[in-house]
Chain A
Amino acid sequence: MSETRGLTLAEKVWNDHLVVKGEDGAPDLLYIDLHLVHEVTSPQAFDGLRQAGRPVRRPDLTIATEDHNTPTLGINRPIADLTSRTQIDTLRNNAKEFGVRLHSLGDVEQGIVHVVGPQLGLTMPGITVVCGDSHTSTHGAFGAMAFGIGTSEVEHVLATQTLPLKAFKTMAITVEGTLRPGVTAKDIILAVIAKIGTGGGQGYVLEYRGSAIRSLSMEGRMTVCNMSIEAGARAGMVAPDQITYDYLEGRPHAPAGADWHEAVAYWDTLQTDDDAVFDAEVFLDADALEPFVTWGTNPGQGVSLSENVPDPSTIIDANDRANAERALEYMALTANTPMKEIAVDAVFMGSCTNSRIEDLRAFASVIKGQKKADNVRVMVVPGSARVRIEAEAEGIDRIVEEFGAEWRFAGCSMCLGMNPDQLAPGERCASTSNRNFEGRQGKGGRTHLVSPLVAAATAIRGTLSSPWDLEQAPEPDTTDGPATTDGPATTDGPATTDGPATTDELATTAPKAV
C-alpha cells in the first residue's frame, strides 16, 4: 500500500480495525465487531474454550441462532433426527453456559444467520463481521468487512474477539447500466461468477460498483455479496449510501440519536477514494444481462437461460473440459440442449441468497393466481421467522398455497439438506440457493441455480423458464427496485395455468433427463 494514493473501501475498514500491525510476514491482528454463531460450526469451538478454561471475551458482540439443522415443518415437536437434536441442544447449552444471546427455533428472531443480523440492525457499514459460515460475505452489502471462518477461528474470536489475518488484494467489479425487468441481482452475481470463475476471486476482497449496483435495494446487494465466496473471494462489499442508511435506520440495534449522526458522518468517509487503485478490475454490462442459470456442478458453470447446454468438446483447457464432461454426466444433460427444454422435479425458493421479503414478493408476483406445473414440488422457505410473519401479513402465504406450493418455517432447509428437506437421488431442482455442487441438496440431487423470478416461472411451466416465457408476462416485481408492499404487480391477465406460453415451445419440451 503506497502512501501517495487513496484507499479502497476495504482498505479503510481493515485499517480501522488494526489491533496489531503484523511485522516480518506475521498477519495483522484485526478486531471483530460482530460474531454470528450457529449450531453446526460452533460445538467444537465452545469445547475448546471449556478445555482451556477460557470465557467468551465479548458475549455482547456475539449472537447465535439455529438455522442449518432446524426442521421447516412441525417446529413445535422435538427434532426427529437425534444427531440434529443433539447439535441444537449443544448450542443451547453452550449459549447458556457462556452467556451468549441465542434465538432458538420458535423465537420470533430465529432464522438464517445472514438474514437475522441485517434484520436486527446489527449489520452496519464499516464494521467487521465473522461467522463460521462462508456466506458471511452477505453482510458486505452494507459496506462491512464480512467473511466466513473455520471452527478454529470461531474459537479464536470467541476467546479474543480478534483474528490474525493476512492482507488481501482488492478487485473492483463494476456493473454499469440498467437491468431489464425480469433480470435481478441474482443474475448479476451468477454472470460475474461465470465470467471470473470459481477461483477468480481467490485472495481478493471484491467491491461491487457501478450504476447497476447503486440502484439495487439492500436485499439485492445482499444477494450479490452473498455469492462472493462462489467466485472464490472471502468477502464482497458495496459502499454504503442513502439506500443503506434508509434500510438501517430505526432497526432494533441500529445506532440512534447522536450515535446515528456520528456513525453516518463516519460511514460517509468509507467510499473508495477516486485515486485508489484496485489490484484487479472486472466489468459487466447490465443492459445486456438476461436471466441466468447454471448447467453444471459448480456455480461458475452458468449461461443465459436463452442459451444451450455447452458442448465440452469446444472447451480448449483439458482440465475445464474434463470438468464439464463430468458435470454433464452428473447432471444427466446432453450438450447443446436448450436450457429452456430442461424439465425439473422440484423448485426451492429460499436460502441466505434469496429468502428475504423482497425475494418472496418477487416470487409471489409471478405465481399469483397461477397453478404450479404437475409433478413439480415447490417449497418456499422464508429466511427468518420475522420474514415469514411479514410475508403472511401481505398474503404471500395464501398466494403460495393457492399455487400448490408448500409454505414452510424458516431455516437453511434444502440449500444444503442438513434437515429433512432434501432432493431424492436423480431429482432435478431449480433452486434460488447458492451452490450446485454434487449432492449438495441431497445425495444424487441435481441443482440449477436461478433467481426467484426464474424459480417462479419454472414452477409454473415445469421447465427452466423466466417471466419472459410466460404469456402476457406480468411486469415482475424485481428485487432490484423498491418493492411494493401491496402485493404483486399482476392483478389482471394472469398467464394461462395449464401450459407454456407458445405452442412451439410446448412441442419441444424435453424429457427431464436428456
Chain B
Amino acid sequence: MEAVSVITGIAAPLKRSNVDTDQIIPAVFLKRVTKTGFEDALFSGWRQDPEFVLNQPAFAGAKVLVAGPDFGTGSSREHAVWALRDFGFAAVLSSRFGDIFRGNSGKQGLLAAQLAEADIESIWAAIDAEPGREITVDLLSKTVSVGSLTVPFDIDDYTRWRLLEGLDDIGLTLRSEAEITDFESRRQGWRPKTLPVK
C-alpha cells in the first residue's frame, strides 16, 4: 500500500445521504476476478444522467468526494473502494460511514475522513461558490482546507498511522506469529472444524 499524507485536488460534492455500496457499484460488476479496472462501474446507475455531479466538466479529474451522511452503508463489497480509487478518488469525506466500507478504505489507501455534518455543508457551499476549486485533505494535521475555510476531521489513530506509513496489515499481524500459534494450541476440541468432511 502506498503511503498517504496530503491530498490536494478537485472536490466533487455528492449531495445525497445513504449512498450504499450497491449505488457505489452495482452487483453486476462484482463478477470480475481482478482488483483493478472498476472505474467504469462507479455509480453506474447514475452516470447516464448528464446532471450527475461526476459528469459535470468542472469536476473532471476530482480527487476528493464530499458526500452526505451514511456513505458506504450496506454490502461488504470492497469493490466499492476499488471503484472509487480506480476512478481517481484519494479521499472521501462524510459525516458518517458504513463500518465495513470505512475499514475497507483504510486497507486500500483510500482516506475516509469523518467530518461534522455542518462542516460538510460548509464545504459544499464553498464548492458551490466556485465549482472545480481545489481542496486539501491533510492527514498529518487531520484537517480539510478549501479557500479560507479549514475544518478538522476524525480518523482513528491506528488507521492514520497505517496510511501515513503505507503498512500492510498481514505483514503486521505475522509479527505476532508466536501468539497466534500459542492461542491455537489452547483452542478447545468442541470448536468447529470443516475438515474432515462429515
Give the total number of A-B pairs whose CB atoms are below 8 A apart: 209
Task: Report if B179 contacts A (CB, 8 A).
Answer: yes
Chain B 73-90 interface mask (CB, 8 Å, partner A; 1/0): 111111101000000000
**1/0 contact string of B29-41 vs chain A (CB within 8 Å):** 0111111000000
Asked whether, in the complex, the Cβ of A29 is within 8 Å of the Cβ of B76, the reply is: no
Q: What residue of chain B has the Cβ atom nearest to residue A89's Cβ?
A: B33
* Interchain nearest-CB distance for B1 vs A (Å): 9
Complex Cα spacing A81 to B27, Å: 14
Interface hub of B27, B107, B158, B176 (most chain A Cβ within 10 A): B27
Contact of B172 among A44, A132, A164, A263 (CB under 8 A): A164
Are B18 and A25 in touch, CB under 8 angstroms? Answer: no
For residue A377, CB closer than 8 A to chain B, the reply is no
Within 8 A of B (CB), among A10-25: 19-20, 22, 25
User: Is A155 touching B192 in the complex (CB atoms < 8 A)?
Assistant: no
Separation of A52 and B179 alpha carbons in the complex (Å): 22
A252 and B198 in contact, given A27-B158, A164-B169 (Cβ under 8 angstroms): yes
CA distance A31 to B173 in the complex (A): 11
Establish whether residues A150 and B78, one from each chain, have CB atoms under 8 Å apart when the complex forms. yes
Residues on the B chain within 8 Å of A271, using CB: none
Say which size band chain A's interface belongs to.
35 or more
**How far apart are the CA atoms of A233 and B153 in the complex, in Å?**
22
The answer to whether B26 touches A443 (Cβ under 8 A) is: yes
Chain A residues positioned under 8 Å from B143 (CB to CB): none
Are B173 and A63 in contact (CB-based, < 8 A)? no
Chain B's nearest CB lies how many Å from the CB of A85?
A: 9
**Taking CB as reference atom, which chain B residue is nearest A255?**
B190
Does A319 contact B69, Cβ atoms closer than 8 Å? yes
Interface segment, A196-204, A276-284, A364-372? A196-204
A437 and B22 contact, Cβ closer than 8 Å, known pairs A40-B30, A152-B108, A319-B69: yes
For B22, B28, B68, B184, which residue has the most chain A Cβ atoms within 10 angstroms?
B28
Could you say which of B3-11, B55-63, B95-103, B126-134 contacts chain A? Answer: B95-103
- What total of chain B residues lie within 8 Å of the partner, measured CB to CB? 60
Contacts of A202 in B (CB 8 A): 96, 98-99
Judge if A159 is at the interface, Cβ distance under 8 Å: yes
Partner of B16 from A54, A61, A81, A326 at Cβ < 8 Å: A326
Alpha-carbon distance A134/B79, docked complex (angstroms): 13
CB-based contact A150/B170 at 8 Å: no
Q: Is the CB of B158 within 8 A of A153?
A: no
A2 on the B face (CB < 8 A): no
Cβ contact within 8 Å between B33 and A87: yes
Distance to closest chain B CB from A47 (angstroms): 7
Question: At the interface, yes or no: A59 with Cβ under 8 Å from chain B?
Answer: yes
Tell me, yes or no, whether B145 is within 8 Å of chain A by CB.
Answer: no
A26 at the interface (CB under 8 A from B): yes
**Chain B 162-198 interface 0/1 with A at a Cβ cutoff of 8 Å (1 = within):** 0000000110111010011001100111111111011
Whether B138 is near chain A, meaning CB under 8 Å from some CB there, is no
Known contacts A152-B108, A161-B180, A199-B96; decide if A417 and B194 are in contact (CB<8 Å): no
Q: Does residue A485 face the partner (Cβ distance < 8 Å to B)?
A: no
Closest to B102 in A: A202
Mark B residues whose CB is within 8 Å of A. Answer: 16-18, 20, 22-23, 26-28, 30-35, 45, 68-70, 73-79, 81, 96, 98-100, 103-104, 107-108, 156-158, 161, 169-170, 172-174, 176, 179-180, 183-184, 187-195, 197-198
10 shortest A-B CB distances, which residue pairs? A150-B104, A255-B190, A150-B78, A43-B33, A263-B190, A152-B107, A148-B76, A259-B190, A83-B31, A151-B78
Given A159-B170, A202-B96, 18 more A-B residue pairs with CB atoms under 8 Å apart are A25-B156, A25-B158, A27-B158, A31-B180, A31-B183, A33-B191, A43-B33, A44-B35, A60-B193, A60-B194, A152-B169, A166-B158, A199-B70, A203-B99, A232-B70, A416-B75, A438-B23, A443-B45
Q: Which residues of A contact B (CB under 8 A)?
A: 19-20, 22, 25-27, 29, 31, 33-34, 40-41, 43-44, 47, 52, 54, 59-63, 68-69, 81, 83-84, 86-87, 90, 101, 121-124, 127, 132-134, 148-153, 155-156, 159-162, 164, 166, 198-199, 202-203, 229-230, 232-234, 252-253, 255, 259-260, 262-263, 266, 298, 319-320, 322-323, 326, 416-418, 435, 437-440, 443
